[in-house]
Amino acid sequence: MRARIALLQLYRLGVLLAVAWLIRAHHTRLRVEGDRPVRVEEVAGWFTNAAGLRLDLAARGGFHVFDRDGAELGYLIRTLPQADRIIGYCGITDTLVALDREGRVLGFKIRHSEDTKTHVGDVMADRHFKQTWNGMTWEQVAGMDLKKAGVEGVSGATMTSLAVAEGIVHRFRVAQGEMRPPTMRVGVRDFGLMTVLALGAWLTFTKREGRERWRRWFQWLVIGYVGLLNGDLLAQSLLAGWAKSGMAWRMAPGLVLFAAAAFAVPWVARRPLYCQQLCPHGAAQEIVTRLAPARWRVNVPAALDRALLDFDLAGLEAFDAYLIRSAGGATIAVAIAGLLAALCVPKAYCKYGCPTGALLEFVRARGAGDKFGRRDLAAGVMLLVAFVMHWQHAAIHALIFGPAA
């Protein structure tokens, strides 16, 4: 029995982690490839036996080049979109740069340019210019001063060639800057969140007399400090952003710990720490319910209850409403509607309208009565479809949009 429950929890957690990985991989692919995916045929001039490209999810954001046996041949980067503001004679230029296994430049080629074809042809025909970076390491290219290096451009296509040169150096420089060892910044805000987290955990697990009275005072702290002052609410927009670009552990370690506890504690202890103790909107709903007269209370019919539980409100989260200075009208309206609903139905928004709460509930341990259900099966099937689409991205893109120009 225990083994079955543990496997079910691991399955649900695995689904969540796989979804986060797919979001990150897709975001990186869009950032690296844009609307012109790189084809393995484009590297044949440097790697004659290249058979595949694997997207690099690290800071450099390029491609590992492999042969049919899976041996790595080298590395490949493109200058767009990082260099999309560097304009030549009449447009931007997308350049591929190849490096060998030791990280030294083999050469470059222009894969697409909005400059005139004549200028682009002149650049690619100039053998001296094409060999400018050959043999250089990543650090040497990133630290290059074009003027001191004597890169003056190609005669007859000066603006186009200098744009190509600036784009290459800029692309290497951007990735080199992203790869500097990050430093963590821990401030008062982080210590404040950690303190609130510790108090919330204490209220969750303690059974001491007077707990409920302390919890009511704690709810005002959560609303005022976590919600209105900091705006540190967990929302799917925040989690999706972290999945795409990485967690903000360097700039907001307190918030990352806050989110980690929201997932980890219920997964182990069967108690929804965030939804019960740390969510400002949930606390506000509980206060509204306590203040409302008992005669306002409404019992939701079972059929309507099931229908509301299946209703998708993922695009209408109320949490940004606590960032009053920047909140949109629709978000504020959803937050107010949730509070008004709590006058009649306790924590109505939490039960029927909160996608973040549903996500936390999906991975929470539920005890011996928990079973593999239709929702788990649907999650697995959709995840499998997403993996296939990611794996066959190039073929699907070519089928829909045609071969890259």
* Residue-range definition of the domain harbouring residue 306: 189-372
In this prediction, residue 96 carries a pLDDT of 92
**Spatial distance between the Cα atoms of 189 and 181, rounded to a whole number of angstroms:** 23
**Spatial distance between the Cα atoms of 107 and 386, rounded to a whole number of angstroms:** 35
Q: Do 270 and 309 fall within a single domain?
A: yes
Position 136 confidence tier, pLDDT thresholds 50, 70, 90:
very high
In this prediction, residue 168 carries a pLDDT of 92
In this prediction, residue 387 carries a pLDDT of 85
CB 354 within 8 A of CB 280: no
Task: Please count the other Cβ atoms lying within 10 Å of the Cβ belonging to residue 55.
Answer: 18
Residue 197 belongs to some domain of the structure: yes
- Residue 323, pLDDT > 70, answer no
Residue 380 belongs to some domain of the structure: no
Q: Do 119 and 209 fall within a single domain?
A: no
Residue 17 belongs to some domain of the structure: no
Q: Do 241 and 311 fall within a single domain?
A: yes
Domain boundary among 178, 205, 237: 178
**Spatial distance between the Cα atoms of 267 and 379, rounded to a whole number of angstroms:** 18
Q: Do 56 and 169 fall within a single domain?
A: yes
Q: Do 242 and 99 fall within a single domain?
A: no
Q: Do 55 and 96 fall within a single domain?
A: yes
CA atoms within 13 A on the CB side of 325: 4
In this prediction, residue 66 carries a pLDDT of 92
How high does pLDDT run on average in the chain? Answer: 80
Phi first, then psi: give them for residue 189, nearest 5 degrees. Answer: -60, -40
Position 236 confidence tier, pLDDT thresholds 50, 70, 90:
confident
| Residue 399 one-letter amino acid | L
pTM: 0.61
Residue 389 belongs to some domain of the structure: no
Q: Do 262 and 346 fall within a single domain?
A: yes
Over residues 384-395, the pLDDT tens digits come to 988 888 777 767
Domain boundary among 114, 145, 178: 178
Q: Do 174 and 240 fall within a single domain?
A: no
Position 345 confidence tier, pLDDT thresholds 50, 70, 90:
confident
Q: Do 156 and 203 fall within a single domain?
A: no
Q: How many domains does the chain have?
A: 2
**Spatial distance between the Cα atoms of 72 and 52, rounded to a whole number of angstroms:** 10
CB 107 within 8 A of CB 98: yes
Residue 287 belongs to some domain of the structure: yes
Q: Across the beta sheet with 72-78, what order do the strands follow?
A: 52-55, 63-66, 72-78, 93-100, 105-113
CB 66 within 8 A of CB 72: yes
CB 2 within 8 A of CB 370: no
Mean pLDDT of 257-276: 84
Over residues 150-209, the pLDDT tens digits come to 887 787 777 788 889 989 999 898 877 644 444 566 888 889 889 999 998 888 888 776
Tokens 């080049």, residue located: 65
Considering only residues 325 and 383, tell me which one the structure prediction assigns the higher pLDDT.
383
Q: Do 173 and 193 fall within a single domain?
A: no
Residue 85 belongs to some domain of the structure: yes
CB 232 within 8 A of CB 255: yes
In this prediction, residue 312 carries a pLDDT of 46
Cis amide prior to 81 (ω within 30 degrees): yes
Residue 403 belongs to some domain of the structure: no
In this prediction, residue 135 carries a pLDDT of 93
- Residue 325, pLDDT > 60, answer no
Q: Do 271 and 167 fall within a single domain?
A: no
- Residue 26, pLDDT > 80, answer no
Q: Do 204 and 114 fall within a single domain?
A: no
Sign of CA dihedral 383, 370, 364, 359: positive
Residue 392 belongs to some domain of the structure: no
Domain boundary among 121, 146, 178: 178
